[in-house]
C-alpha cells in the first residue's frame, strides 16, 4: 500500500493547495535536517524584520514585544535541545514561525511574515551564518600562519635541499620552505577577507523578488544585523548565490595550496627522507605492519581537497543555467556550503596541529645536501670575475661532468682538477663548495639568506597583525 499523502497544513505556502504532498516529495523538499543550523540567524533576522514593521506601524508595541519575547523562547529551546520538531516543519523558517505562533498565538504570530518572503529569509540566514563561520576560519588561518612564522624564526639555521621537478636543485633554509607556504596562506587570508566583505551584505527587505510594499527601512535592519551594506537590487538579492560560489572557490583554492603543503611533508616524513617526524597525535599505524607510522593526517588533508573541489564544481553546475531570481535548485547550495566550511576549517586545525608538533631532523636534512647542488655557484663565481653567465654556466657544467667521469662527488675534486677545466677558476674557488656560503649569497629580497628570511618573517608578522 502506498504511503498516505499529507495535507500541507501549517506550511507557509499551504493555502494554495488542497491536496497533500507525496511523502517522498515531502522528504525530498525538506531542508530542516541541515538548515536547522541557522536557527539563531533566522531568529535574529525575524526580530530585526519585526522591529522594522513596528517602526512602520504594521505592528503595535505590544505585538512586537510579544514576538521578540516569543522568539527568544524559541531560540532557547533550540539552544537547549528541547525544540520539538513537527511533521510539517519543512525548514527552519517554517519551524520557527510555527513554534512562535504556538507560544504567542496565531493572531500575533501570523503578522511576523508581513511583507517578507522565504526567498530573502533564506539568503539572509545563509549570509549571517556564513559571515560568522568565515570570521572563525579567518582566525584559524591566522593561527596557522603564526605557527609557521614561529617555526621559521626558531629554526632559521637549518639547511635543507631545495627541489625542482622533485630533483635536488639548490640548498635553502628550512625556514625558507616553511615561509614559502605561509606566504601562500597569507594570500589566501587576504582573499578571504575580501570574500567576507562581499558576503556581509543584506538581502533583507527585498521580498520574494520585487521588493517590500511597506516602505521598510532596509538600512536599519542591516545595521541591526551587522551587515556592512545592502544588496541594491531585489531580483539579484534573492536569486544570487555568488557569495556561496565565491566561498567555495576560495576554499577550493586554499585546499589546493594546503594539499601541496601536505604532500611535501608526507614526502619529508617518509623513511627515504626522514626530514621530519609527525607527532603520534597526527599519525596512525598499520593493521598488519607494526613498524609503520603513517602520515594519515596529511593524507586526509590532501584527499579532502578533492571533496572541496567537488562542492564548488557541483554548485557551478547547479546554478549555471537557472533563470533569473529564486529557483528551488538554489536549496542545493546549502548542504555543500555547510560541509565545505567544516572541511576547510578542520583541515586548517589539523594542519596547525601537525606543524606545531612535528619534529625536525636537522642532521638528516644536512646529510641530504649534495655537492652537485652547488654547481651554479661556480658559474656565479666566474660571473664575479667578469665572465658572461652563459660561458660560466658551460664551465660549471664541465665541473659536474668531470666529477661524474671520475665517479666522485663534486666536492672531492682537487684544486688542480678545477683549474684544469678553466684557468679562471682560482685558488679561492673551493669556497663555492660551502653550503652556508651558497645560501647566504641569496640575500636579495625573497631569497634564502638569513637576512632575507628575517625580512619575510617581519612582513608576515605585520600582515597578519593588520599593519599592512
Q: What is the pTM of this model?
A: 0.91
Pairing of strands 159-164, 229-230: unpaired
Contact 12/29 with Cβ under 8 angstroms? no
CA distance 440 to 458: 18
Contact 259/266 with Cβ under 8 angstroms? no
CA distance 248 to 315: 9
Q: What is the pLDDT of residue 229?
A: 98
Matching CATH topology for 29-109 and 371-433?
A: no
- Quick one: fold of 371-433? Ribonucleotide Reductase Protein R1; domain 1 (1.10.40)
Q: What is the pLDDT of residue 21?
A: 65
Indicate the helix (H) or strand (E) that contains 300.
helix 296-319
The phi, psi pair for 360, rounded to 5°, reads -95, 135
Q: What is the DSSP string of 65-119?
A: HHHHHHHHHHHHHHHTT-----TT--SHHHHHHHHHHHHH-HHHHTTTTTT--HH
Which cell is 323 given?
Answer: 533563470
CA distance 356 to 278: 10
Nearest to residue 292, comparing CAs of 280, 303, 300, 276?
A: 280
Contact 45/117 with Cβ under 8 angstroms? no
Pairing of strands 359-360, 201-202: unpaired
Distance of CA 185 to the CA centre of its chain: 9
Distance of CA 1 to CAs 4, 5, 332, Å?
A: 9, 12, 31
The phi, psi pair for 461, rounded to 5°, reads -60, -45
Q: SS3 of 180, please?
A: helix
Q: What is the pLDDT of residue 24?
A: 84
CA distance 254 to 441: 33
Q: What is the pLDDT of residue 414?
A: 86
Q: Which residues of 249-277 are buried (b: 16+ CB within 10 A; e: fewer)?
A: bbbbbbbeebbebbebbbbbbeeebebbb
Which cell is 423 given?
Answer: 684557468
Q: SS3 of 242, please?
A: helix
Q: Which residues of 203-239 are buried (b: 16+ CB within 10 A; e: fewer)?
A: bbbbbebebbeeebbbeebbebbebeebbeebeebbb
Q: Which pairs with CB-CB distance under 8 Å and at least 24 residues apart come from 399-408?
A: 399/375, 400/372, 400/375, 403/371, 403/372
**Per-domain residue ranges of the chain:** 29-109, 118-213+233-367, 371-433
Catalytic residues: 165, 286
Q: What is the pLDDT of residue 418?
A: 87
pLDDT by residue, tens only, the chain of 468 residues: 444 444 455 555 455 545 566 788 888 878 999 999 999 999 999 999 999 999 999 999 999 999 999 999 999 999 999 999 998 899 999 999 999 999 999 999 999 999 999 999 999 999 999 999 999 999 999 999 999 999 999 999 999 999 999 999 999 999 999 999 999 999 999 999 999 999 999 999 999 999 999 999 999 999 999 999 999 999 999 999 999 999 999 999 999 999 999 999 999 999 999 999 999 999 876 555 555 578 999 999 999 999 999 999 999 999 999 999 999 999 999 999 999 999 999 999 999 999 999 999 999 999 999 999 999 998 999 999 999 999 989 998 998 898 899 898 888 888 988 888 888 998 899 999 999 999 999 999 999 999 999 999 999 999 988 765
Q: What is the pLDDT of residue 285?
A: 61
Q: Does domain 29-109 have CATH number 3.40.640.10?
A: no
Residue 360 bridge partners (DSSP): 276
Which cell is 157 given?
Answer: 639555521
174: alpha, beta or left? (left if phi > 0; alpha if psi -120 to 50): alpha
Would you state the CATH architecture of domain 118-213+233-367? Up-down Bundle (1.20)
CA distance 446 to 460: 12
Tell how many helices (H) and how many strands (E) occur in the chain: 19, 6
Amino acid at each position: 500500500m502506498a504511503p498516505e499523502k499529507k495535507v500541507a497544513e501549517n506550511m507557509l505556502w499551504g493555502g494554495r493547495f488542497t491536496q497533500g504532498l507525496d511523502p517522498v516529495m515531502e522528504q525530498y523538499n525538506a531542508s530542516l535536517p541541515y538548515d536547522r543550523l541557522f536557527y539563531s540567524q533566522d531568529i535574529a533576522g525575524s526580530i530585526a524584520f519585526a522591529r522594522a514593521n513596528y517602526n512602520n506601524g504594521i505592528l503595535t508595541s505590544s505585538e512586537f514585544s510579544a514576538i521578540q519575547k516569543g522568539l527568544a523562547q524559541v531560540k532557547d529551546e533550540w539552544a537547549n535541545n528541547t525544540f520539538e520538531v513537527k511533521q510539517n516543519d519543512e525548514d527552519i523558517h517554517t519551524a520557527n514561525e510555527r513554534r512562535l505562533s504556538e507560544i504567542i498565538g496565531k493572531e500575533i504570530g501570523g503578522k511576523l511574515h508581513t511583507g517578507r518572503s522565504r526567498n530573502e529569509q533564506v539568503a539572509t540566514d545563509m549570509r549571517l551564518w556564513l559571515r560568522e563561520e568565515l570570521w572563525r576560519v579567518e582566525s584559524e588561518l591566522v593561527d596557522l600562519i603564526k605557527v609557521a612564522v614561529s617555526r621559521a624564526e626558531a629554526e632559521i639555521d637549518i639547511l635543507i635541499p631545495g627541489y625542482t621537478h622533485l630533483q635536488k636543485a639548490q640548498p635553502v633554509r628550512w625556514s625558507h620552505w616553511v615561509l614559502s607556504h605561509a606566504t601562500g596562506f597569507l594570500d589566501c587570508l587576504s582573499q578571504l577577507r575580501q570574500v567576507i566583505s562581499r558576503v556581509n551584505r543584506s538581502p533583507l527587505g527585498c521580498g520574494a523578488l520585487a521588493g517590500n510594499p511597506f516602505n521598510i527601512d532596509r538600512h536599519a535592519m542591516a545595521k541591526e544585523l551587522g551587515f556592512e551594506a545592502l544588496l541594491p537590487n531585489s531580483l539579484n538579492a534573492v536569486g544570487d548565490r555568488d557569495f556561496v560560489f565565491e566561498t567555495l572557490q576560495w576554499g577550493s583554492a586554499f585546499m589546493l595550496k594546503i594539499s601541496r603543503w601536505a604532500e611535501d611533508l608526507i614526502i619529508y616524513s617518509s623513511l627515504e627522507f626522514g626530514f621530519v617526524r609527525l607527532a603520534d597525535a597526527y599519525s596512525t599505524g598499520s593493521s598488519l605492519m607494526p613498524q609503520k607510522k603513517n602520515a594519515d593526517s596529511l593524507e586526509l588533508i590532501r584527499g579532502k581537497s578533492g571533496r572541496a573541489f567537488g562542492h564548488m564544481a557541483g554548485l557551478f553546475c547547479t546554478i549555471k543555467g537557472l533563470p533569473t531570481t529564486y529557483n528551488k535548485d538554489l536549496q542545493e547550495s546549502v548542504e555543500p556550503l555547510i560541509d565545505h566550511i567544516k572541511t576547510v576549517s578542520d583541515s586548517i586545525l589539523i594542519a596547525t596541529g601537525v606543524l606545531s608538533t612535528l619534529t625536525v631532523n636537522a642532521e638528516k636534512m644536512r646529510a641530504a645536501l649534495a655537492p652537485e647542488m652547488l654547481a651554479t655557484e661556480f658559474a656565479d663565481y666566474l660571473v664575479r670575475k667578469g665572465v658572461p653567465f652563459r660561458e660560466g654556466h658551460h664551465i660549471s657544467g664541465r665541473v659536474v661532468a668531470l666529477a661524474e667521469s671520475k665517479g666522485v662527488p663534486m666536492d672531492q675534486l682537487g684544486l688542480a682538477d678545477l683549474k684544469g677545466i678553466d684557468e679562471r677558476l682560482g685558488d679561492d674557488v673551493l669556497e663555492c663548495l660551502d653550503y652556508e656560503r651558497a645560501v647566504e649569497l641569496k640575500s636579495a629580497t625573497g631569497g634564502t639568506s638569513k637576512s632575507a628570511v628575517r625580512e619575510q618573517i617581519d612582513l608576515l608578522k605585520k600582515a597578519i597583525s593588520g599593519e599592512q
